[in-house]
Structure 1
Amino acid sequence: MDTSSSTSAQKQIFILSGQSNMAGRGGVDRQKHWDGVVPPECSPDPSRVFRLNARLDWEAARVPLHYDIDTKKTCGVGPGMPFANAVKEHIVGAIGLVPCAVGGTAIKEWARGGHLYNNMVERAKAASRGGGGELKALLWYQGESDTSSARDVEAYKESLETLIRNVRSDLNSPSLPVIQVAIASGDIKYLDKIREIQKGIDIPNVVTVDAYGLQLKEDNLHLTTEAQVRLGCILAQAHLANFKCE
């Protein structure tokens, strides 16, 4: 792990996980190029906001946060930076972001023992190792890939609840806050069913925010840059309103 004076500061650590709308496709066009536009709410703050890179080293956080994690797709603006910049105004110290999201992934691919789940847990443990900081929350935005079949819908609730229990157990954090996003897009056939399940999760310290109504890109799947900024602020408001900040 990086031990330089700036990046070794005690951090409040947030896991960013799920699929493409968490990884961020804001500003990415159909030719798979990111336009490079960084809204003010996503500006880097090298002294206070850090990301754990794919090598498990801390570095200054910059958009796109998932460039070396979600490597099979082009990443752009996601909710992570606006979230961090909003939360930092209410805490003392630094924020550490742990990007783990991978586009196009179904909930079954996040089962314990699989690569995605194991990588997420390994990265979260590495982030807090050696007094590097305290795990504060898992930010979870996933479900679009589970809107295409009745079988996926039927299994979704149990899979999501099991994921939450497993993450808390494996990170030795039985009450780890989880802020999940109710999806705004997907196959229309089962979109409402997945949203209903997500909004109906009743587990202590699990809060759901709703992405419905946020602007989608032309693909009707991914949030625009402006919508990602708004979502990041919504996630920050949910965290500040529901969980302890220091």
Structure 2
Amino acid sequence: MDLSNSIESNEAHPTKQIFILSGQSNMAGRGGVKHRHWDGVVPPECSPDASKIFRLSSHLRWEVAREPLHHDIDAKKTCGVGPGMPFANAAKERVGVIGLVPCAVGGTAIKEWARGTELYESMVKRAKAAAHGGGGEIKAVLWYQGESDTSSQHDVDCYKESMERLIENVRADLDLPSLPVIQVALASGGEKYIEKIREIQKGIELPNVVCVDAKGLQLNEDNLHLSTEAQIQLGHMLAQAYLTHFLG
């Protein structure tokens, strides 16, 4: 894959510590979204920082990161506040310049992230583009997905193997065998099977995989998506997990 023309000159941007944001709608961000409209409220914890926090656009160009981070990635849905900006603001003082790579798409099941699918291949392409030409070093995948797999026993039965294979494939395809993965245990989903998916998520025992638990965080009126305040809390939880487990 030729990435020589994909990324604008890195001279304008410092070398970044790169984090891949992936999964489904709660990673893409629905904080402040009601009736398919985002209220536009950006709390201080989600504020842009033109010197420290960048995002990779859908056109593979670095730009100053600002909410909603996934507006051109999860483009068929209305995006609002997600965990990416509060994560970056909480981590930047210790991590340095941060490059966020939004990849999450709402309503997607784990099978849609298998190697060879459009979503998976796009995520790998974007991650490689972000690091290309000295753009930075990929430090971790932040993963929040599973609500779409809480509707049947069949989905539950497949989830653990599918999630572990996803992690192994991403590490292999990025040639980063020890790449940290921080996944989120669900806060919402189909009531019948949500606890089974959560148990699987908390029970993944691959090396360099940690889990933060979103259970109990405030939801929007739809009882599915995290509120703006909850997204800030989750971003801080993700930052603390990264700083504790992976930044010596």
Q: Does 1:242 align with 2:248?
A: no
RMSD of the TM alignment (CA)? 0.8
Secondary structure of residue in 1 paired with 2:34: coil
Q: How does 1:1-246 map to 2 (within 5 A)?
A: 1-3=7-9, 5-7=11-13, 9-30=14-35, 32-92=36-96, 94-244=97-247
In structure 1, C-alpha distance between the alignment counterparts of 2:72 and 2:29, rounded to whole Å? 12
Quick one: percent identity of the two aligned structures? 72
The amino acid of 1:56's aligned partner reads L
In structure 1, C-alpha distance between the alignment counterparts of 2:24 and 2:208, rounded to whole Å? 22
The amino acid of 2:51's aligned partner reads S
1:4 CA drift (Å) = 5.7
- CA distance 1:4–1:167, change in 2 (3 Å): closer
Count residues with an aligned counterpart.
242
Match of 2:4 in 1: none
1:89 CA drift (Å) = 1.2
In structure 1, C-alpha distance between the alignment counterparts of 2:137 and 2:175, rounded to whole Å? 12
Unaligned runs of 5+ in 2: 1-6
Conservation of the 8 A alpha-carbon contact between 1:6 and 1:47: no
Conservation of the 8 A alpha-carbon contact between 2:10 and 2:135: no
In structure 1, C-alpha distance between the alignment counterparts of 2:137 and 2:210, rounded to whole Å? 19
The amino acid of 1:48's aligned partner reads K
Conservation of the 8 A alpha-carbon contact between 2:181 and 2:208: yes
The one-character-per-residue Cα deviations of 1:17-61 (angstroms, maximum 9, x if unpaired) are 00000000000002x110000000000001110000000000000
Conservation of the 8 A alpha-carbon contact between 2:10 and 2:134: no
Following superposition, which runs of at least 4 residues in structure 1 exceed 3 angstroms of deviation? none
In structure 2, C-alpha distance between the alignment counterparts of 1:2 and 1:86, rounded to whole Å? 27
1:87 CA drift (Å) = 0.6
The amino acid of 1:186's aligned partner reads G
Conservation of the 8 A alpha-carbon contact between 1:22 and 1:79: yes
1:3 CA drift (Å) = 1.6
State TM-score, norm by structure 2.
0.96
Secondary structure of residue in 1 paired with 2:151: coil
1:244 CA drift (Å) = 2.3
Unaligned runs of 5+ in 1: none
In structure 2, C-alpha distance between the alignment counterparts of 1:120 and 1:126, rounded to whole Å? 10
Secondary structure of residue in 2 paired with 1:36: coil
